[in-house]
Amino acid sequence: MRIELKDFYPYGSENGDTSVPTNDDGSTGRVNIGFRFPFFDDEHESLFVNTNGVISFLRQVSQYTPDPFPLDSDRRLIAPFWADVDTRKGGVVYYRETQDRAIRIRVSDEIRKYFVRQRKFSAKWVMIVTWLTVARFGGSSSQNNTFQTVLATDGINSFSIFYYNKIEWTFGTASSVAAQ
């Protein structure tokens, strides 16, 4: 189901987001986060926002390799759209942590609505990552994808919410495998 941009969580520089530098197969440096994020067997205090549609915890994802899941234990990823993104052809990747009360309430309400065993969930920490009109490697700037991931935790349970607005491509020209 397509989510309209007006229904995405607020994003962009006007909302205090940081943008990932324009690149192919790039990443932020280590982003220290203000709250421990439980993810499988570990609690993470930092993460990496990667151009290629993933958020990683232990290291940057420096290239698109369409490996099937499950991955090795040293590759902990949240992958809303793992594909060969190239923002040199268009688009931007935004991210930010937020303590905004209205956003934490919205996230908590959404999680409680869809996870019936989480009726008492109350987000203590939220990060919003948005891939806005991003192009594919080797493609033109006329085909773009827009999607968003919201990470949230109460310190015990963690969730990832994926929103998709527009998906016009599934793989770059150097990849023979579609997005994972």
Kindly give the confidence (pLDDT) of every residue in the chain, 180 residues in length, as a single tens digit, with 9 standing for 90 and above.
789 999 999 999 999 999 999 999 899 999 999 999 999 889 999 999 999 999 999 878 877 766 666 666 667 889 999 899 999 988 999 999 999 999 999 999 999 999 999 999 999 999 999 999 999 988 777 899 999 999 999 999 999 999 999 999 987 665 555 555
Give the pTM. 0.92
Give the three-state DSSP class for 99: coil
* pLDDT for res 68: 64
How far is residue 84's CA from residue 137's CA, in Å, rounded to a whole number?
6
Q: Are 174 and 148 in contact (CB under 8 A)?
A: no
* pLDDT for res 70: 60
Note the maximum CA span of the chain: 46
Query: Which tokens hold the place of 12?
Result: 């962009």
* pLDDT for res 178: 54
* pLDDT for res 140: 76
* pLDDT for res 66: 66
Which residues is 126 bridged to in the sheet?
98, 152
Query: Which tokens hold the place of 56?
Result: 């990683």
* pLDDT for res 176: 53
Domain ranges for the chain: 5-167
The CA–CA distances, whole Å, from 170 to 17, 27, 58 equal: 26, 20, 26
* pLDDT for res 171: 75
Q: Are 50 and 30 in contact (CB under 8 A)?
A: no
Residues sharing a CB contact under 8 Å with residue 29, sequence separation 6 or more, in sequence order: 48
Helix (H) or strand (E) holding 33: strand 31-39
